[in-house]
């Protein structure tokens, strides 16, 4: 698609950054009241909160199912003898995650390690979609839409990296955030959790000063509390969106002649090799921060 003369560079970039959005058309639209796929970013925005990013949901669920299938298959066929390559690989990941949990989480919760493993592998697989050449899947999606549904290929969007969609990263971060809140209340109770938000970091034995510090502490701690899901989601989204944008800009070079195309090929290869580190690091950071937040949920006020 980068060589399509009917698309300008700006249109090409916008097309690759647009999610396939399914929702209800609002008032003022020719199809008002009907549900369908948005043709551009403006239509997608007008569909509101109930709109669904079909590509984000499809790839996220598909990769999640792939993770479960592979790990279940390896666990089912695991042997105590000489393990195969896949079993070795899975055991290495499990041991790596297990050591990360043991080194960071000081509480006792049988769900933390499986959650950390799920997050690490799932986020890695989601990020790894960024290594697929940016035109391949959108071109196939455009061909399918045109051949079987009579759609204009330019209106068939396919954003295949779910972590470049803030809705996906915020969804994962909010899930982690709700779990940490649940275990904070469970371990500390309402009074203990309230005390954590109001009696630190400033404290005093003087009752008057303690009352003065309560609203100040609450503002500071509440902001820090809300910053956890924001930083967790925006860090992943920002890094992956920037990486995807670079791949798209490099792909534009293929439409600039054979010299620019060859140079772009080398750039793409170099960036893809470097990007392997980025996608792994982002998965590791998301997992590690999740473990840290769960550990904080188990800490009492005296340990803060």
Residues with a known catalytic role: 231, 235, 239
Q: Which residues partner with 36 through β-bridges? A: 23
Residues 228 and 293: beta-carbon distance below 8 Å: yes
Q: Compute the distance between CA of residue 288 and CA of residue 268 in angstroms, rounded to an integer.
A: 29
| C-beta separation of 16 from 55 below 8 A | no
What b/e sequence results for 190-229 when a residue is b if at least 16 CB atoms lie within 10 Å of its CB, and e otherwise?
Answer: eeebebbbbbeeeeeeeeeeeeebbeebeeebeeeeeebb
Long-range contacts of 81-84 (CB under 8 A, 24+ apart): none
**Alpha helices (H) in the chain, listed in sequence order:** 9-16, 41-46, 54-76, 85-104, 112-128, 136-149, 166-198, 207-252, 258-298
Q: Write the burial class of residue 122 (CB in 10 Å: 0-12 exposed, 13-18 middle, 19+ buried).
A: buried
The CB density around residue 41, as the number of other CB atoms within 10 Å, is 14
């Amino acid at each position: 698609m980068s060589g399509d003369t009917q698309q300008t560079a700006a249109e090409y970039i916008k097309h690759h950054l647009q999610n396939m959005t399914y929702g209800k058309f609002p008032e003022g639209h020719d199809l008002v009241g009907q549900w369908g796929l948005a043709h551009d970013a403006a239509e997608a925005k007008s569909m509101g909160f109930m709109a669904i990013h079909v590509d984000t949901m499809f790839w996220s669920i598909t990769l999640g199912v792939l993770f479960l299938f592979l790990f279940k298959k390896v666990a089912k066929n695991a042997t105590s003898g000489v393990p195969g390559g896949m079993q070795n690989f899975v055991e290495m990941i499990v041991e790596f995650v297990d050591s990360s949990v043991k080194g960071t989480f000081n509480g006792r919760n049988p769900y933390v390690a499986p959650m950390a493993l799920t997050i690490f592998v799932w986020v890695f697989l989601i990020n790894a979609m960024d290594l697929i050449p940016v035109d391949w899947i959108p071109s196939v999606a455009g061909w399918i839409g045109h051949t079987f549904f009579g759609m204009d290929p330019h209106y068939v969007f396919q954003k295949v990296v779910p972590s470049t969609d803030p809705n996906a990263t915020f969804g994962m971060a909010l899930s982690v955030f709700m779990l940490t809140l649940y275990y904070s209340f469970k371990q500390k109770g309402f009074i203990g959790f309230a005390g954590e938000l109001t009696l630190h970091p400033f404290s005093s034995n003087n009752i008057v000063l303690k009352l003065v510090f309560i609203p100040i502490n609450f503002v500071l701690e509440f902001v820090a509390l809300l910053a956890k899901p924001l930083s967790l989601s925006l860090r992943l989204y920002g890094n992956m969106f920037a990486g995807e944008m670079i791949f798209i800009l490099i792909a534009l070079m293929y439409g600039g002649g054979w010299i620019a195309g060859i140079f772009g090929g080398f750039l793409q290869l170099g960036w893809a090799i470097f990007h392997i580190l980025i996608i792994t690091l982002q998965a590791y950071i998301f997992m590690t921060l999740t473990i840290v937040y769960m550990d904080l949920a188990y800490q009492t006020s005296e340990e803060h």
